[in-house]
Every structure is written in structure tokens, then in C-alpha cells.
Structure 1
Amino acid sequence: MIRSLFFLLFLIPLYAFSQHQINYKVFYDKNLEQNGLKIQVDYTQKKSSDTIAFYYANDNWDEKELFKSLILQEKDNPGIRFDIKPEDNKIRVHHKESRKISFIYYIKQDFKDLNYRIFNRPKVKDQFFHVMGKNLFMVPTSFTKMPDDQEFEFSIEWIGFPQDFKIHNTFASQIKKQNIKTVLWEGFYNSLFVGGDYRIYDFKIHEKPVYFAIRDEWNNGFSDDFLCTNLKKAVQSQRDFWKDYDKEYFTVIMSPTVSQKDSLFKGYSSTGSAIKNAFMIQGTNNPFNSKSSYLYLLHHELMHEWIGNTIQNKHEELNYWFSEGFTDYYTYKNRLRIKDISFDEWLKLFNEEVIRSHWKNPQRKIPNYTIKDDFWKSRNTEKVPYRRGAVFAFWLDNQIMIKSGYKKSLDDFMQELLNRCKEKKLKLTDELFLDLAQKYLDKDISYFFQKHILSGEDIDLINEKWINGFQFKITDEIPQLQVDKNASLKYPL
């Protein structure tokens, strides 16, 4: 009996290892640009076989044909044959029958020069690398068929990298042997791995570390101090707002798409993306760097840590009116709250960047269901849920303040929504949102929601009720928010 029990206890951890653990070794090469990042993957299957399929994303975040970045060589893998199928995001690995499989592949930059239009293709140069997790580490296709909440163990060892070659990612900073336990799609594959000549700064909020990684020398006042100071201010204010200090690790990674002291591209192009434990900023680095655009991007993307990541959409693009629109609204409101902008600046930004931009968009009245199909195809369509949702958020904020006699605001609604989603493991749906709205307004707003959010009809801003001191007037055929400075204005509440 004791011998049988011992044998059973031995098998359980072995089974767990073979099912849900995978190991990687990443090797340094002084000629990274020429040779690429060399990666050895080791995996133990549940059963012995002579073939196993691995997943590698050929399309990822609007980048196509990413198999061009993947190199598999027979000279590195004697006795192994690869059947590469980019159209299926798959590599079939034929090997000597065994439970264990080990092979080597390379990730290499597949374009010559950095470009302000290229954000998410693997970048591998001698002095740095910048690769999304989904395109750095391949996994057995069996991992992709597990439930979304299934956790895996990913072991990564960074071998031979010089001391001054920083290793930093959305799971740890400067750790050469990493053990990462997370889900696949929203965790390991929703990540960024960088290394090289990055400068890494850190600070703490409620004893929890926040890291800032940046490379290159930035123009037009984008000093490390300016960037770090405003990052800390934004993170502190947002965690205070949500009363949420649970994040054990968080990082912001800022990288140039292309750097030029003089530029034929007469403008500033940047993008930000919320990812696991982090958000990344990429943008042109030239004399046209815009501080105001950076601050907007900073506050917008950090807010996604809660609106979009913690409060997750059930139906993705169909709920972008919330995840993008309410994030946009709080981007402006939070900046006003912490005096990052004055009230006059807030009023101008809200009128110009939200209301006027929305009214001048020829696609503004499209129904919500078309956003799902066209969001990634049209810039005008992409902007509809941002602005439509922000105007709706402003309307709801005013209605809650009026109904509660200025005792509550949309802030209370959002904090309760966050707690509901966290405690009950819920995702954002129209029904969940409307149920909570009815609690705060003591009435059903389903018809209003159907008319203005789902069908796309403009909210009649002129004739709606607003808090004391707010009203709308038509200017150049576009409604604009006006403020009575003699009124006792209670905004932001």
C-alpha cells in the first residue's frame, strides 16, 4: 500500500509538469541583428509520440506574415524535420519518438529600417530587442485549446547576456531566470519582452513597485525626469481613484519607432497599448514630440488597467463604447481632478477633442454592430466608440449627480462596477451596465441606451438636463459645452 501510494504521488507532479509547463533558453549573440535571438524550447508531453504541433502567430496586432521573422534550421536540430504552415499558425515537428521534445529556432527582424508605421513586428538589433510575447515564444498547440483561465508555467533562462544588456519585460525586471505562472492569451501572449540599451527606473506606490523602461535620447523636452515624474503622478492618482493597490508588479515600456533630429515626417505619431502588468508606448522621436499628446496617451492607457483589463468586455468591439469611451472620459476628468490641466483647459479639450471631433466625424451615426466589423478598417469608425462613449459617460455622470443631489457621481458607479466584476468574476455586458445604471438613477435607461449607443443617434445635448452651471449651445452647427462661472459648479464631484 505504501509503495503504491508513493508511485501515485510520483506520477501526479510528473503529469502536471508534462501538461502545463514549458521551458525556454534565450541566448545572447553579439551579432543579434544578423543572426537573431536564438531560443531553445524544451517540453515534455503526456504520451510518447514522434510528432507534435507548435503554435506561432502569423498575424498579430495588425502585423501580417510574421513567420518571416521565424527561422528554423536543420543544422541546429539534427534528426528533426519541420512542416511549416503559416496559414494555420502552426509548425509540425517530426522527431524521434519520445515524450520529450527539444529544438532551436530564431526570431529575427524581417525589415531593414525602423519605420513609424511599424509597431508590433519583432525588432531585433545589436543594441536592443523589442518583441511581443506571442511572437517570441511558441507553445504546443494543445496549450491553445485549453480553457482561457487555465494557468501554465513558463520557465525562461536568459543565457550569456552582458551585465549592461538589460533584460526587462511585463513579468519582471533584470531577472535572468524567470518562472512565470499565468494564463496564455491574456497573460503570456499579451506581453512584451525587451532588452538592451534600455534605462530602467523604478518607484513604489503603497510599497508596490512600478518600473519605467526607456531607450534612446528623446527630443523636445522629453527628458527622463519629465516622463518619470508624470508617470508617477498618473499611476498614483488612478490607483487612489480606484482604491486599488493590489498590483504586485507594473511597468511602462517606452520605445521609439524611429529617431531623427530632423524629420521629413512633419509630425508626432505615437500609440499606446495596455498589456499584461504593463502598457507600452511607441512613437516617433523627432523635434515634433508633443508633451500634450504624451500626457493624454499616458492617462488613457493607464486607465485601461481597470476599464478594459479588470472590467473586461464580454463582447470586445461591441463594448468599445464602454472600454474606450469611458476610458477617454476619465482621461480628461482624472487630469482635471489632479490639476494636470486647468478647468479652462479641460473645457477646451472636451469641446474640441470629444464633442467637435465626434460631430465632424462622417461615421458618427453608424450603428454599434458595424463597429465590430469595421473598427480595424477605418480610422473614422475606430474613433466612433471613443467619442460616443465619452459623451454618454458625461451624460450619465451629470444624471447621477442630479439624482443624488450631488452626493454621488459616475465615480461611485464605476467603483461599484469594478468591485462587482472582481468579486463575482463578471465581464462587462450591456445588461450588467444597465442594471447598475437603474440602481443609481432609479429608472430604466434601456431605451435611451438603445437609441444613442446601439443605434447611434446623437444625444440631444441642447435639451438634456445638466448639473447647475453646465449648458450646451450651438456653435458652427456643433453643440458646445458652456459654463456659467457665476454658478456654484460642482465638477468634478
Structure 2
Amino acid sequence: MKLLLLLAGLLPLLAPAQSRLDYQVHYSPQLAAEGLRVQVQARTTRPADSTYFHFANEVWGEKDLLRCLTGLTGAEPGYRFRVVPDSSRIVVYHPRGRDVRFSYRVKQDAAQYTKAQFSRPYVADTYFHVLGESLFAVPEALTKTAVEDPEMRATVRWVGFPPDFRLHNTFAAGATEQTFRGKLWTEFYRSLYVGGDYRLQQFSLQNRTVYLAQRGQWTEYTDARVLEAVRQALTAQRAFWQDAGPASYTVFLSPTVTTADTSWHGQSMKGSSLHQGFVLQSTNNPYNNWDLLRYILNHEMLHQWIGGQIGAAHEELNYWFTEGFTDYYAFKNRLRSGDLTMEQWVQSFNEDVLQRLYRNAERNQPNYLIKDNYWKSSSFGKLPYRRGAVFALWLDHQILRRSGYTRSLDDMMRELLHLCRQPGQKYTDELFLTLAQRYLREDISYEYQKYMLDGADLPLRPEDLVEGLTVDNSGKVPVLKLNGPAAPLRERYLNENPAARPMARQ
């Protein structure tokens, strides 16, 4: 008993100290001019007269975000501030002690953003749309711990917002006070906060609540049509992964630039995965493309698993998998859900993957250059999507054929999900290759090195594909073609028999 009491007394000293964080976000009728005022109260681990706070200067390729932060003000005399953009740092000089209290304002740094600026704070009189990492400063000590994704606790209060100014975020609907307990980088910061003239719809799926939060009057997209597309895609994906999902999940749909005429031909749309949801932003004009919206819905939802629960150890170096295999399953799950017919799946894969890959001047660049140029060039940015999708197609069909259509890449992906849910386990190429060898009874390290890392074109051959599908290699771009009736090909390709026992657990 004495030993237990001694250990209990030591635990607070052995456990990593955590800052206590309280935020108040204040409304103003002139939000565009004044911004969202955020009050911060932090209790640090030891007395000091200066404290570093983290406020991201770059998020998801958007740079110079500290331009959106203004009005730094201490809660009492004796406060001074220094902003260090290169370090994403706010230095707060304050009266010596453990309590630090100050405020700042988050606002747009331009009256109107361009169609390519997706991840900056949007703050107007009638609405706001701000990522968690661009709204909440946290003590830098929390971001510099030895733990890769530290646990934290914070209270957020929304002050003075009118009843008709709808509040919603990835953690709660309509809450004016929230207590967050979870991980800093993958949960608290990978979140989105919106308010104002958003329309909120919801449905229940496997006793889990799914929200659709959208604003703007869309050309081609009615609220009911978008909601049904969300339901169809998410139903198929959760069934595929055999996962009911989180208790709450939100799809956000927001316009960037809206025009009623044809002054700009085309559509600029981007989706980004969030904790417990994703955000889709798009230009809104007569060129809105319903098929593009459905594709991105399916792609971004998949990131809950690929790149989410199957977390990559090496970020951009693994994008051929986390983006490429996500892209492949965006097409395959659209076929599975009935969103695409077999004929449409073939046409879409030819046009959106194979043709765009082979027309990309950078298509044979090595993987390490993709890492270096991913955020700098759209050609490099899309390369891992299409290169990885072709590799996934090849691997899927190899497993199907060699197993006599009793297993597919689907089984391997669910196996990978199971493994990556284990504490401390992340996706690595070594783990991937080990699983692939078990499912194929063959080592594909050579193919992985040559086609994914070195960037050589992966040759698709008719004998590589399942019965009923072939490929025409007579031109510069390989073309998939049906080689028989569509219905049996669909059944064979989707392999919808009861799931086979995982190879790695035999």
C-alpha cells in the first residue's frame, strides 16, 4: 500500500505537463473590418516573463498567413509582442507569472481572394470560414514536445453571436461552449470552424450523425442533390471498410469566387480532409461540373481511412500511396455504389487517370522530386495521384487473377487498415510490400522501385487485367476497353463475395 501511495504521488511529476488553454471567440457586426477577436488564456508549466505561441504562417500550401493576424493586445499593462513569421511564432512578453492572457484578431488579408486561395481565413460580415490552425494560437511548448502528436485540452466559448448566425465545426453543431480533449495536430488543428449564413442538413448512418454544411446559391447543385450524393458515397465507403465512422461527421461545401456570367471558363475546386469530415471549396459559375463534385466527394471521404487511420510515416514521399490509392478507390467505390456504370468507370479511368498521366510532361520524374515540388507545381502535385492509381489498378488485378478471384486489393487494404490501427504503427512502403508479397506470393520490390520511385511508365498488358477487360497499347496512351459483357466483369472486378480471411493472419 505504501508503495502504491508513493507511485501515486510521483505520477504528476512523471507525466508530461500540459498547458491549460481557454479561448473566447467574439462576434462583431463588422466582422469583415474587425475580424474575429480571439481571447487566449494559458497557464504555463512554470513562471516566466515571456512565452512563445505557435500561429501557423503556412497551412496546406497557403503562405504568409500571419498577415491575417492583427490587433495583438495584452489583458493588462506590461504586455509586448513580437511576431516571427519564419518560425510561425508570436513572442508574448508579459508580467512574470504562469498566467498569460492576450487577444488578437483573425481577418482576411485581402478584400477578395482569388479562385486558387482555398485555405486562407474567410471572414465577412455574413459568415466566416477558418481552419483551426489559423484561428487558435497555442503555447509553442506544446508543439515542441517529443510526442509527435501531443494530447491537449482546451475550452472554446463563442461570445455574442446572434441566434440566426449559425455556428458549426468538426466537433459540434451550434455549440456556444466546447471542451476539447484530444490530439493537437490531427484533431484540434485539422478542423474547420464556420458560422453565419450556412445551411445545415443532416442524416443518420449506422446510428452516426452526418452533417452537410453549405453556403451560397450553386449553379447545378441543389441542397437535396448534394445531400443524396454524400449519403450514397459515405454509405458505400463505410460498408467497404466495415467501419461505422465517428459519432459526428461533417461535409462542408463553400464557394470561393461566384460569377453569374462566363467570364472565366472552367471550375477550380479543391477538397481537403479534416478530422471528422472534409471541406470542399469551389468556384461557382455556369461551368460547375456535377461529375467533378461527386469524384472529389468520394476522394476526400476516403482520406478518413487512407492517409487518416492509415497514417503515412513519410508524408509527401508516400503520396503515391495516400493520394494515388485514394484516387483509385474513389473510382472503384463510385462503381460499387452505383454512381458509375462499368462503361462509365472505364471511360473515367481512361480520361481522368491514364490520359492525364501520359500528357503530363513530368510523368517520369523520380519520387523524391515529387516531394520537393509537390506544393510548387500543379504538374508535380497531380503526379502521385495518377501514377499511384495506375499502380493500384495493376496490383488489384494481379491479386484478383492470381487468387482465382477469391481475393483482391480490397482485402489487402482492409488488412492494412487493421495493422495501422495498432498503437505506434504507421504506413510505410516496407509494410506495404510485405503485405503485397503475402497476397501475390511474389516480391514486387522491383516493380515498386522502378515504377513508383524511379518514375518509369508501368506497362499495362491484357494478361495483367481481369477477364472481360483489356488494354489497347497501339497509341501513345494505353486505353482500357471492355472485352465482354459489363455485368459479369463488374461482379468479377468488385469481388463482392464474403470477405476472404486476411493473408497476413493465416
> Is this a same-fold pair by TM over 0.5?
yes
2:159 is matched with 159
Instruction: Measure, in 2, the Cα distance between the counterparts of 1:200 and 1:466.
Output: 44
2:47 is matched with 48
Instruction: Measure, in 1, the Cα distance between the counterparts of 2:391 and 2:254.
Output: 34
**1:72 counterpart = 2:71:** yes
Where do 5+ consecutive residues of structure 2 fail to align? Answer: 496-506
Secondary structure at the counterpart of residue 42 of structure 1: strand
1:126-184 superposed Cα distances (whole Å, 9 cap, x missing partner): 11111111111101110111212321001100011111111111111111110011211
Secondary structure at the counterpart of residue 288 of structure 1: coil
Instruction: Measure, in 2, the Cα distance between the counterparts of 1:187 and 1:277.
Output: 8
1:231-252 superposed Cα distances (whole Å, 9 cap, x missing partner): 0111111001000114122111
2:479 is matched with 480
**What is the deviation of 1:198?**
0.6
Give yes or no for contact 1:148–1:184 (8 Å, CA) kept in 2: no
2:194 is matched with 194
**1:433 counterpart = 2:435:** no
1:354 is matched with 353
CA distance 1:135–1:486, shift in 2 (3 Å): closer
Aligned residue identity for 1:79 = G
Instruction: Measure, in 2, the Cα distance between the counterparts of 1:91 and 1:466.
Output: 56
Aligned residue identity for 1:378 = S
Give yes or no for contact 2:73–2:102 (8 Å, CA) kept in 1: no
TM-score, scaled relative to structure 2: 0.92
2:21 is matched with 22
CA distance 1:312–1:284, shift in 2 (3 Å): same
Identity of aligned residues (%): 43
**What is the deviation of 1:72?**
2.9
2:209 is matched with 209
Instruction: Give the number of aligned pairs.
Output: 488
Aligned residue identity for 1:491 = Y
Instruction: Measure, in 2, the Cα distance between the counterparts of 1:486 and 1:100.
Output: 71
1:399 is matched with 398
Secondary structure at the counterpart of residue 280 of structure 1: strand
Aligned residue identity for 2:77 = P
1:178 is matched with 178
Give yes or no for contact 2:74–2:102 (8 Å, CA) kept in 1: no
Q: Which runs of 4+ in 1 moved over 6 A?
A: 11-18
2:461 is matched with 462
Give yes or no for contact 1:159–1:176 (8 Å, CA) kept in 2: yes
Structure 1 range deviating more: 289-298 or 107-116: 107-116
Secondary structure at the counterpart of residue 72 of structure 1: strand
1:316-340 superposed Cα distances (whole Å, 9 cap, x missing partner): 1111111111111111111111111
Instruction: Measure, in 1, the Cα distance between the counterparts of 2:197 and 2:391.
Output: 44
**What is the deviation of 1:486?**
5.2
Give yes or no for contact 2:215–2:254 (8 Å, CA) kept in 1: yes
**1:315 counterpart = 2:314:** yes
Matches within 5 A, 1:222-301: 222-301=221-300
Give yes or no for contact 2:50–2:93 (8 Å, CA) kept in 1: yes
Aligned residue identity for 1:190 = R
Secondary structure at the counterpart of residue 309 of structure 1: coil
Aligned residue identity for 1:181 = R
**What is the deviation of 1:308?**
0.8
Give yes or no for contact 2:19–2:43 (8 Å, CA) kept in 1: no
Instruction: Measure, in 2, the Cα distance between the counterparts of 1:402 and 1:439.
Output: 15
2:136 is matched with 137
Give yes or no for contact 1:15–1:46 (8 Å, CA) kept in 2: no
Matches within 5 A, 1:332-343: 332-343=331-342
**What is the deviation of 1:424?**
4.8
Instruction: Measure, in 2, the Cα distance between the counterparts of 1:73 and 1:377.
Output: 32
Give yes or no for contact 2:79–2:93 (8 Å, CA) kept in 1: yes
Instruction: Measure, in 1, the Cα distance between the counterparts of 2:315 and 2:407.
Output: 29
**What is the deviation of 1:277?**
1.1
2:499 is matched with none
Secondary structure at the counterpart of residue 415 of structure 1: helix
Root-mean-square deviation (Å):
2.2
Give yes or no for contact 1:20–1:151 (8 Å, CA) kept in 2: no
Aligned residue identity for 1:208 = R
Give yes or no for contact 1:77–1:104 (8 Å, CA) kept in 2: no
Where do 5+ consecutive residues of structure 1 fail to align? Answer: none
Instruction: Measure, in 1, the Cα distance between the counterparts of 2:124 and 2:447.
Output: 53
Secondary structure at the counterpart of residue 18 of structure 2: helix
